[in-house]
Amino acid sequence: MNTRTRDPCRELFKKMIILPMYSQYIYSFILYTVNNKHPHNMNNEIHKYRTRYNNNLHLSIISSSKFNKGTYFSGIKVSNHLPKYIKNLSNDWKCFTSTLKRFLYQHSFYLIEEHFKYTEKKKI
């Protein structure tokens, strides 16, 4: 790619359509969570109030740090932080996975915190 050794790779990953490690990590977490949705409750199943987080998976409050760092809990947190337009596609598997990958290629997250800091831009 004719770059120097100290050049940042984020744009190169985007050009070459390669997911950085944390983006792959996020992708795997989300696929695991969506594939195993059956043990999870949605917020709208817990309460009947119409809130903006109504269609998120419900996070159980458990004080065990081992549980909170595990796949179950982390997968829900990562999945809930997806943009709404991607979450709405979770019933159409092929469309969901391709849109999710496109989103991750576009943003190329280097840290899990970058994913949590991401916010959807509001259309005016």
Range of the domain at 27: 14-117
Which of 52, 117, 50 has its CA nearest to residue 87? 52
Q: What is the pLDDT of residues 80-123, one digit of tens each?
A: 888 889 988 888 999 999 999 999 998 888 888 888 888 766 54
What are 57's strand-pairing partners? Answer: 42
Q: What is the pLDDT of residues 77-86, one digit of tens each?
A: 888 888 889 9
Question: Considering the domain boundaries, does residue 34 fall inside one?
Answer: yes
Number of domains in the chain: 1
Contacts of 6 (CB under 8 A, 6+ apart): none
Question: Considering the domain boundaries, does residue 38 fall inside one?
Answer: yes
Which of 80, 62, 66 has its CA nearest to residue 26? 80
d(C-alpha 115, C-alpha 23), whole Å: 9
Residue 79 in tokens: 């999945």
Quote the pTM value: 0.72
d(C-alpha 112, C-alpha 14), whole Å: 17
